[in-house]
Structure 1
Amino acid sequence: MHSSTSNSDSGQLAGFKREVPTKPLFSLVWLAMAASFVIFIGIEIHARNSGVVPSRANDMIFWNNHRLLLDDTPKNTTVLAGASRITFGFDLDTWEDEVGNRPFNLGLHGASFIPMLKDYALNTEHNGIIICSVAGGFTFADSNAFFVERIGKAVDALEASRRSITVRGHGLTAELLQARFAALNVDAYSPIQILRDTFRPSPRTNERAMFFVPYTYRHTEDNQDMFVVDFSDPFHLQEWDGMHKNVLTYLELGKPRTARSVVDQITTYIETIERRGGEVVFVKFPTSRFMKDWEDRRFPRDKYWDIIIEETGCRGFHYLDNTNTRDLFPPDGSHLLPLQAKVFTRELVKFVYPED
């Protein structure tokens, strides 16, 4: 009787034996890398021909890295704080040409200037001018609103961001790659944006779009936003209108703060900055269409802007008070086009540095 191991005879196993094939592993790796490179170059060429430009991702990791750069700037650097109106409406090149130094833009989409002012006062020794954009819906938003908490948490976690390998590593790779290649423009090449651009859906009754900013602008390395379209295409305006109406829906969920409650909060920060020799300047950027109607109704000038200026004693530049800015009409309702931003910035320079 055969044992249970009799099947292990070499003669019987010979038919199941197979040599491990030898393949040019490194050649395959190089071939795959070369193919990927060619595909990437093809996408880059297509992107450039389609008008897509390199753009940094406009997210909190970018803002965290950008904020940390402020610590290495001269103490008298002009700093900008506020929501997206200041990233679109303030032209850094124009200010630099007129004044001789380049401002540092801390602006963030959907953010209040208040946490930024607090950070500037308490976490830096800077003694220059900080220009704060007063955007009613964000400046006077309820403190529990998610976009208010977002910037507040980012400011409170600055030291954690400074030590974070993820945050710092992302900043380095994005600076080397994303800032240079249009094919890495996450807004232009996101699946959602590609589908919307391809099929161009019409808005439905009471539709509220998901919270995203359509690809119609570029976000630069120094945190400036510039439209790459002129809104002659109605679809671009439709997308921004949908996004803005969505934002207003969130803003209306909470009861807005009073101007005096904001003054009570920021007075200490202003005094701290002024003791160092610095100055706080408030600015009101142009609005239009339904955005202007909404702000005028919800945040009338005499009950908000005028009180901020009167109670703090700070200088304030309101676009309606200047003959060259009062007629600026942001097509999307809230953000200036590049040429409009240059006009606004030149007038702001004249206000901040009046000729003797």
Structure 2
Amino acid sequence: MTLTVPFRFIACAYFPDTLAKPMTQPQSGLNYALHERNIPAGMGMRKLLTVASIILVLLTAVEMTARQRGDQVNFPFTSDMWVGQWYRLDSLPDNQTVFIGASRVQFGLIVNEWERQTGVRPLLLAWPGSPPGLILQELAKRQSFKGTVICGIAPPFSFVSPRFPVHDWTQRNLAEAAVLKTSLAFHLSYQAQYFLKPRFRCLNDAAFSPIAMLYERWPIPNREGLLTPLIFPFGATRDGDMQMRFTDEMETNNKKQEFIARIQKASHLRLAHYGPANTDSLIRQYTEDVSTIEKRGGKVIFLRPPSDGHFRAFEKEHYPREQYFDRLVKASGCYGIHFEDHAELRDFRCVETSHLSKRDGIEFTKRVVEILQRDQIID
């Protein structure tokens, strides 16, 4: 038989002085009241108003600066923007015209001009650095879709290895599109963007980013061969349709164009490092997706927008059209437009060797529509 003796009984027997005093009583004789924090008697309303006033003055100054220099509405480069566009497909006709591709499509195919020429307002799903094959595949999976896809081909991004880090941007967009439809936070944020951005020019993170401003204005020379970060200065805006346009300064400032060119050349090092994708499997996937869309009554048109200068030289060396664009068009059986094949498209010059200016984007869109209508590809 085991006899259980209460702990307090044992403690009292062996340490009577310990339990005779309250446990909370200080044993060291220190006055703990001296170390207590003084709790403010008020809510610090004066400090709150002071901070709020400073913030208001700063925002007002930024707003005035943005409006004086003519900054346009600029939506952020976030997945939410693309996901919101993708969700719009749910409420659009099944035969909707869609633009996919990289940023050359965002600068070179103008939604408003396309609508003006055709009477059809397209949905822009292009994204910087985007390989269009990933989006084309999702459209093929969409059982209800039987529209027209204008698939912009920028060879270094359309045919580069899937290990190229920029591809993560598009994959992240698709991953978030799969889960955000029921997210209240997403829908509130998305609607707030469309309400606030057109009203307040100061809400332009690209134009007033301290890091980007310092990187542009006080550049530190890079080591030879260094893979520099892809931090672009503010030189273009993105509207609610994800249409991109260069700022007036970007189109006329040679120093800014040269700065962009240095960043682009660093991206060439990355592209060359990762190399092209497995062309056979990539074109096979394109062909399967095109066939799926065409069986439902849709069509796919491949478009090669202009490039020039060092970017064009890089493309000719690493992605010659005979092995990539021409092969894709032939294997898929799709109608294709390469800017070099049409006199009316051949003479466009890019702002920074890769993207068209505001005026040229409108004119390029108009001429592409004329070619497609002349060849009876679209109405």
| Band the TM-score falls in, shorter-chain normalisation | 0.7 to 0.9
In 2 relative to 1, CA 29–272 (structure 1 residues): closer, same or farther, beyond 3 Å?
same
Give the aligned partner of residue 373 of structure 2. Answer: 353
The equivalent position to 2:267 in structure 1, one of 247, 254, 268, is 247
User: What is the rounded CA distance, in whole Å, between the counterparts of 1:104 and 1:209 in structure 2?
Assistant: 34
User: What is the rounded CA distance, in whole Å, between the counterparts of 2:128 and 2:39 in structure 1?
Assistant: 61
Give the aligned partner of residue 9 of structure 1. Answer: none
Render the CA deviation track for 1:153-192: whole Å, top value 9, x for unaligned: 4324422122334433332222222343221111110012
User: What TM-score does the superposition give when structure 1 sets the normalisation length?
Assistant: 0.87
Judge conservation of contact 1:209–1:242 (CA < 8 Å) in 2: no
Give the aligned partner of residue 244 of structure 2. Answer: 225
Give the aligned partner of residue 340 of structure 1. Answer: 360
Render the CA deviation track for 1:234-258: whole Å, top value 9, x for unaligned: 2211221122122212211223125
User: What is the rounded CA distance, in whole Å, between the counterparts of 1:177 and 1:160 in structure 2?
Assistant: 25
Q: Please state if 1:324 is matched with 2:344.
A: yes
In 2 relative to 1, CA 180–250 (structure 1 residues): closer, same or farther, beyond 3 Å?
farther
Amino acid aligned to 1:144: R
User: What is the rounded CA distance, in whole Å, between the counterparts of 1:348 and 1:124 in structure 2?
Assistant: 28
What displacement does 1:23 show? Answer: 6.8
Unmatched segments (≥5 aa) in structure 1 = 6-12
Judge conservation of contact 2:63–2:202 (CA < 8 Å) in 1: yes
In 2 relative to 1, CA 23–225 (structure 1 residues): closer, same or farther, beyond 3 Å?
closer
Give the aligned partner of residue 279 of structure 1. Answer: 299
User: What is the rounded CA distance, in whole Å, between the counterparts of 1:161 and 1:260 in structure 2?
Assistant: 34
Q: Please state if 1:47 is matched with 2:69.
A: no
What displacement does 1:151 show? Answer: 1.4
User: What is the rounded CA distance, in whole Å, between the counterparts of 1:21 and 1:310 in structure 2?
Assistant: 79
Q: How does 1:38-77 map to 2 (within 5 A)?
A: 38-77=57-96
Give the aligned partner of residue 213 of structure 1. Answer: 232
What displacement does 1:353 show? Answer: 2.1
In 2 relative to 1, CA 324–246 (structure 1 residues): closer, same or farther, beyond 3 Å?
same
The equivalent position to 1:116 in structure 2, one of 118, 135, 149, is 135
Judge conservation of contact 1:230–1:337 (CA < 8 Å) in 2: no
User: What is the rounded CA distance, in whole Å, between the counterparts of 2:200 and 2:227 in structure 1?
Assistant: 32
User: What is the rounded CA distance, in whole Å, between the counterparts of 1:41 and 1:352 in structure 2?
Assistant: 48
User: What TM-score does the superposition give when structure 2 sets the normalisation length?
Assistant: 0.82
Judge conservation of contact 2:213–2:233 (CA < 8 Å) in 1: no
User: What is the rounded CA distance, in whole Å, between the counterparts of 1:241 and 1:136 in structure 2?
Assistant: 18
User: What is the rounded CA distance, in whole Å, between the counterparts of 1:73 and 1:109 in structure 2?
Assistant: 24
What displacement does 1:290 show? Answer: 0.6
253-262 or 216-225, which moves further after superposition? 253-262
Render the CA deviation track for 1:121-144: whole Å, top value 9, x for unaligned: 113522221000111111111122
Quote the sequence identity (%). 24
In 2 relative to 1, CA 309–46 (structure 1 residues): closer, same or farther, beyond 3 Å?
same
Q: Please state if 1:291 is matched with 2:311.
A: yes
Q: Please state if 1:142 is matched with 2:146.
A: no
Judge conservation of contact 2:161–2:278 (CA < 8 Å) in 1: no
The equivalent position to 1:160 in structure 2, one of 162, 166, 179, is 179
User: What is the rounded CA distance, in whole Å, between the counterparts of 1:179 and 1:278 in structure 2?
Assistant: 35
Give the aligned partner of residue 129 of structure 1. Answer: 148
Q: Please state if 1:260 is matched with 2:303.
A: no
What secondary structure sits across from 2:303 in the alignment?
Answer: strand
Amino acid aligned to 2:347: D
In 2 relative to 1, CA 51–204 (structure 1 residues): closer, same or farther, beyond 3 Å?
farther
Judge conservation of contact 1:288–1:331 (CA < 8 Å) in 2: no
Judge conservation of contact 2:131–2:157 (CA < 8 Å) in 1: yes
User: What is the rounded CA distance, in whole Å, between the counterparts of 2:39 and 2:170 in structure 1?
Assistant: 61
User: What is the rounded CA distance, in whole Å, between the counterparts of 1:316 and 1:57 in structure 2?
Assistant: 32
What displacement does 1:148 show? Answer: 2.1
User: What is the rounded CA distance, in whole Å, between the counterparts of 2:39 and 2:178 in structure 1?
Assistant: 57
Judge conservation of contact 1:179–1:221 (CA < 8 Å) in 2: no
Judge conservation of contact 1:89–1:335 (CA < 8 Å) in 2: yes
Bigger Rg, which one: 2
Judge conservation of contact 1:65–1:167 (CA < 8 Å) in 2: no
What secondary structure sits across from 2:252 in the alignment?
Answer: coil
Aligned residue pairs: how many?
Answer: 343
What displacement does 1:301 show? Answer: 1.4
User: What is the rounded CA distance, in whole Å, between the counterparts of 2:292 and 2:171 in structure 1?
Assistant: 19
Judge conservation of contact 1:56–1:220 (CA < 8 Å) in 2: yes
User: What is the rounded CA distance, in whole Å, between the counterparts of 2:112 and 2:271 in structure 1?
Assistant: 33
In 2 relative to 1, CA 47–271 (structure 1 residues): closer, same or farther, beyond 3 Å?
same
Render the CA deviation track for 1:199-226: whole Å, top value 9, x for unaligned: 3666665454311232111111101000
Q: Please state if 1:105 is matched with 2:124.
A: yes
Render the CA deviation track for 1:88-131: whole Å, top value 9, x for unaligned: 11111111110012111101101100111011111352222100
What displacement does 1:260 show? Answer: 3.4
What secondary structure sits across from 2:237 in the alignment?
Answer: strand
What displacement does 1:29 show? Answer: 5.7
